[in-house]
Amino acid sequence: MCGRYALTSPPEAIRQLFGYAETPNFPPRYNIAPTQPIPIVTAQREDGGRMRHFMLARWGFLPGFVKDVREFPLLINARAETVVEKASFRNAMKRRRCLVPADAYYEWLKLTSGRRIARKPYLFHRADGAPMGLAGLYETYIGTDGAEIDTACILTTEASAATAAVHDRMPAIIEPGDFDAWLDCDAVSATEAAALLRPANADVLAFYEIGPDIGRVTSDGPALQLPLARTLTPI
């Protein structure tokens, strides 16, 4: 799964990569967690073409059929293998695909020794230093009182040959050349778009162990991303 990530590039650099119309100004965030507002990029048909847009959504997807949000689980991820058919996501996969800009994401390596369980956090980023476009879905949920809330989730796939050393899942990374295909829900079917949800090549990501402070939702700042001295290179 993907339960924490970071967006730290300057806003203009993100805008140039994703090509949306708005010019938002947002601070670097080193520890983005579920239920928080996250930036997403969508594409809408306008004047015969498609325009990309920046918007904020709650990280925690709510399908339109939910009656009581208090009794519905928090959907921060959707599995690529089942997203086309699963009732919670299939409509959004057809009509409301998005990109989630990110500079890094975090996973925990689970280690067991007898009855003891230890979890070591790792930071994953593109080896070329560029931001990532994570595959996402969004939905505007309308509550029983008529209030609207924009919600989103991140799609995951099997880990790459390299990242499987830490975790068996990874976010599905959409390469810039595939942004249009992923976002164009009119021209590209859900089944065709699902073909883009594949593990990254082994050399796309670099990763290293970081300190435990990332586990606290209230923690933020660049110090969270410093490598531990004993693991300066990927495992």
Residues annotated as catalytic (active site), given as ranges: 2, 107
The residue type at 193:
A
- Nearest Cα to Cα of residue 216 among 74, 4, 58, 35: 4
CA distance 58 to 140: 10
- Nearest Cα to Cα of residue 190 among 42, 54, 89: 89
Whether 135 and 182 have beta carbons less than 8 Å apart is answered as yes
CA dist 58 to 69, 100, 127, 148, 152, Å? 13, 12, 29, 11, 6
How many residues are listed for the chain in this entry?
235
Tokens of 91: 């409509």
CA distance 184 to 95: 9
Cβ neighbours of residue 71 closer than 8 Å, sequence gap 6 or more = none
CA distance 152 to 102: 14
CA distance 218 to 166: 24
- Nearest Cα to Cα of residue 104 among 121, 79, 81, 83: 121
